[in-house]
Amino acid sequence: MRFLPLAAVLVSALALAQQPSGSPLPPLPEDPAPKEIVRGLHYWVSNEAHLELFHGAVKDHPGLYVGVGSDQNYLLAAWARAEPLVLLDFDQSIVDLHRVYRVLFREAATPEDFLKLWRAESRAEVRRLVTQGYPERKQRQGALLAHASARASVERRLHRVVARMKALSLPCFLVDAGDYAHLRRLYLEDKVHLVRGDLTAARSMSALGRAALEAKHTVGVLYLSNAEQYFDYGPRFRANIQGLPLDARSVVVRTSGQRGISHVKDDYYHYNTQSGPSFLRWLEDRETRNVRGMLRYAPDTDATVGLSRLDAGPDEAREVKKQQLVAKALVKRARAKRTLRSARGEAVR
């Protein structure tokens, strides 16, 4: 590994020193493995191409970070300066991949060294790090298999993220010393919790809610990716989210590939941000059966088609939507009258 230049060392040390310590969370129980995973595929890397759309919403949102999926969590958590992190996925293979991330973050002092460890020529070194890092056989074998299966995909994905964020002049944990130092410190201090957890199951999420409340953590960022599009809002999911310590400072970020809502140009997804209180109010509403039923009331921002923000509750949002539809109908009716008058040769005002 190369040594950092003195200036970079000082920047990293200062970033570490300024971070809050936070209270520890206990180990979280696993949920049972699912009978099948979506399309039978392991989603080793995110296919959300425009995560920069979440930057403004999550930036400087310290507190507990809860997220599903793989690499996208590190980008968002670093922007938020979140602490601690709970990374869960119902696919055990993704949890195993995070275990690989763990040993690489702990080993690599710089973003440059971290990226090098994902190269093909570093495979033997990574196997050594995983073997040393996981004396327990099941964890070791899972991490080794995840690395062998995902390494090339992860390497390509991480370099795409670097290029994308560089083009947008946004910080990125794969380049920015402060972002990287934050994530590395969390792994060195065992403040990243990895668990096979299901948003709709009874163990992990409910235990997390109780532990977070006891430790007096507040959720800064809840990242749901596009998981919600695969289930309705049943009692268990509602209870799991309602059990989390969400407050006015909490932000929920998600994507959705469903039809009937706008998508970002050249992307699979709609991107949505939502305040914690707004999400809780929608979950209390029994007419809200699923995420699509909620997002259809989330207005796109003026800046980007396919990016929405939802802070209102269901009653307010539905009334706004109703008034918009009424106004649209009046405009359409007026236009039809003008067209008819024009066809009749009457004066059109």
pLDDT for position 339: 72
CA distance 16 to 8: 12
Distances (CA, A) of 114 to 80, 92, 150, 154: 21, 23, 16, 12
- Six token digits for residue 226: 């596009």
**Per the structure block, which two tokens stand in for 309?**
């923000």
- The two counts, helices (H) then strands (E), for the chain are 13, 7
Other C-beta atoms closer than 10 Å to the C-beta of 124 total 8
What beta strand segments (E) does 82-204 contain? 85-89, 192-196
* Span 55-77, average pLDDT: 98
pLDDT digits (tens, 9 = 90+) for 122-137: 999 999 999 999 999 9
Residue 327's pLDDT band (cuts 50, 70, 90): low
Q: Radius of gyration (Cα) for the chain, nearest Å? A: 23
- 296 pLDDT more than 90: yes
Kindly state the average pLDDT of the residues 190-216: 97
Question: Contact at 8 Å (CB) between 71 and 46?
Answer: yes
Tell me, what amino acid is at 36?
E
How confident is residue 9, by pLDDT bands cut at 50, 70 and 90?
very low
Half-sphere exposure of 185 (CA within 13 A, CB side): 23
| Residue among 72, 79, 85 nearest 55 (CA) | 79
CA proximity to 274, closest of 302, 288, 255:
255
Q: What percent of the chain has pLDDT over 90?
A: 81
Identify the band that residue 346 occupies on the pLDDT scale cut at 50, 70 and 90.
low
pLDDT in tens, 244-294: 999 999 999 999 999 999 999 999 999 999 999 999 999 999 999 999 999
In this prediction, residue 202 has a pLDDT band, given cuts at 50, 70 and 90, of: very high
Mean pLDDT of 321-328: 71
* Mean pLDDT for all residues in the chain: 90
Q: Comparing 38-47, 94-103, 228-237, 270-279, which segment has the lowest mean pLDDT?
A: 38-47
Domain ranges of the chain: 24-32+42-312, 314-349
**Is 194's pLDDT higher than 90?**
yes
* Other CB atoms within 10 Å distance of the CB of residue 304: 14
Return the percentage of the chain with pLDDT > 70, whole number: 89
Identity of the residue numbered 52: E
Q: pTM above the 0.75 mark?
A: yes
pLDDT at 337 over 80: no
So what's the pLDDT on residue 17? 33
pLDDT at 1 over 60: no
According to the model, what pLDDT value does residue 111 have?
A: 98
